[in-house]
């Protein structure tokens, strides 16, 4: 049975997304290497302790979402050193109310429903926050959020995540060569899945309809591409892809394609049955 939508925060009918408007994002599996030699490479490795993957489910059609978007933006630069790895995922069930969120994807609605179902919940809504796969309704209270993050960080990591990221340029297209490796510390009884999320910062939208009509919205850490699940086999997995990225953000339209440095990658390992995120790593594109 489909998870019901909260009446106060979301429309009743969840419809399939009509696609990300204003965003072109092509994915091709990497074969023998990148099409053009990368000018630089950067790397990241998850720490010995667990870090908190913070997922904010949001929409440009929801008038209670902009404050949550700004809240998430405080970790725009992201760092596993502070224990927080943030992602902003735009759902599509607001798109029938007058404004189509160009960042929305139906898969994010499905993920929100899946996390809620696995926790025994019955309602999805926006803005909604999950920390390491568990809902946190009191995320706006600093003491509550900090306590949850500190509890996560106090636990030893149950998996390792390593990312290598190299920008590349081919003609007028920008892109990233993404290589993420995942290793579980012990053989788990449950199935573990690996994921990679490609995000972009410094996004701006001029909203012309719906609940936020007339507002200028600013977004950071917006997930544009979602890769996975890839099951860990014998305790390990690898996601290696060449990701071509281009955005039709308001500022990018005026000034050409955005620099690769506006993009980044989060990689994480999740329990298939509980939704618990065992470990995550975060890496901004090389500057």
Task: Tell me the per-residue pLDDT of 179-230, one tens digit each, with 9 for 90 and over.
Answer: 999 999 986 678 999 999 999 999 999 999 999 999 999 999 999 999 999 9
Give me the average pLDDT of each 10-residue run along the chain (287 residues): 43 37 34 37 94 98 98 86 93 96 98 96 96 98 97 97 85 80 87 97 96 97 98 97 74 59 95 96 88
Q: How far apart are CA 158 and CA 187, in angstroms?
A: 10
Q: Which of 111, 61, 114, 121 is nearest to 87 (CA)?
A: 111
Question: For residues 27 and 176, is the Cβ–Cβ distance under 8 A?
Answer: no
Q: How far apart are CA 170 and CA 214, in angstroms?
A: 37
The per-type count for the chain, helices as H runs and strands as E runs, is: 4, 15
Q: How far apart are CA 181 and CA 238, in angstroms?
A: 4
Q: How far apart are CA 134 and CA 21, in angstroms?
A: 30
CB-based contacts of 256, cutoff 8 Å, min separation 6 = none
Q: How far apart are CA 247 and CA 225, in angstroms?
A: 12
What are the residue ranges of helices labelled H in the chain? Answer: 66-72, 106-118, 142-153, 250-255
Which pLDDT tens digit goes with each residue over 29-44? 332 233 333 346 899 9
């Amino acid at each position: 049975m489909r998870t019901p939508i909260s009446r106060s925060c979301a429309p009743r009918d969840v419809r399939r997304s009509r696609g990300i408007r204003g965003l072109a994002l092509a994915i091709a599996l990497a074969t023998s290497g990148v099409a053009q030699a990368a000018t630089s490479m950067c790397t990241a490795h998850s720490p010995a302790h667990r870090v908190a993957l913070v997922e904010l489910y949001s929409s440009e059609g929801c008038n209670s979402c902009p404050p949550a978007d700004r809240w998430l933006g405080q970790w725009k630069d992201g760092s596993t050193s502070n224990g927080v790895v943030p992602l902003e995922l735009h759902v599509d069930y607001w798109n029938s109310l007058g404004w189509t969120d160009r960042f929305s994807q139906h898969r994010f609605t499905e993920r929100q429903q899946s996390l809620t179902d696995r926790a025994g919940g019955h309602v999805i809504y926006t803005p909604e926050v999950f920390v390491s796969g568990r809902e946190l309704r009191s995320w706006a209270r600093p003491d509550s959020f900090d306590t949850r993050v500190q509890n996560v960080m106090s636990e030893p990591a149950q998996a390792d995540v390593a990312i290598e990221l190299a920008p590349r340029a081919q003609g007028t297209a920008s892109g990233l060569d993404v290589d993420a490796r995942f290793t579980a510390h012990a053989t788990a009884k449950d199935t573990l899945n690996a994921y990679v999320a490609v995000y972009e910062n410094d996004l701006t939208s001029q909203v012309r309809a719906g609940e936020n009509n007339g507002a200028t919205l600013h977004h950071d850490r917006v997930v544009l591409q979602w890769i996975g699940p890839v099951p860990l086999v014998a305790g390990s997995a690898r996601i290696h892809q060449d990701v071509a990225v281009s955005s039709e953000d308001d500022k990018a339209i005026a000034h050409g394609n955005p620099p690769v440095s506006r993009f980044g990658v989060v990689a994480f390992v999740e329990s298939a049955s509980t939704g618990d995120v065992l470990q995550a790593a975060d890496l901004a594109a090389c500057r």
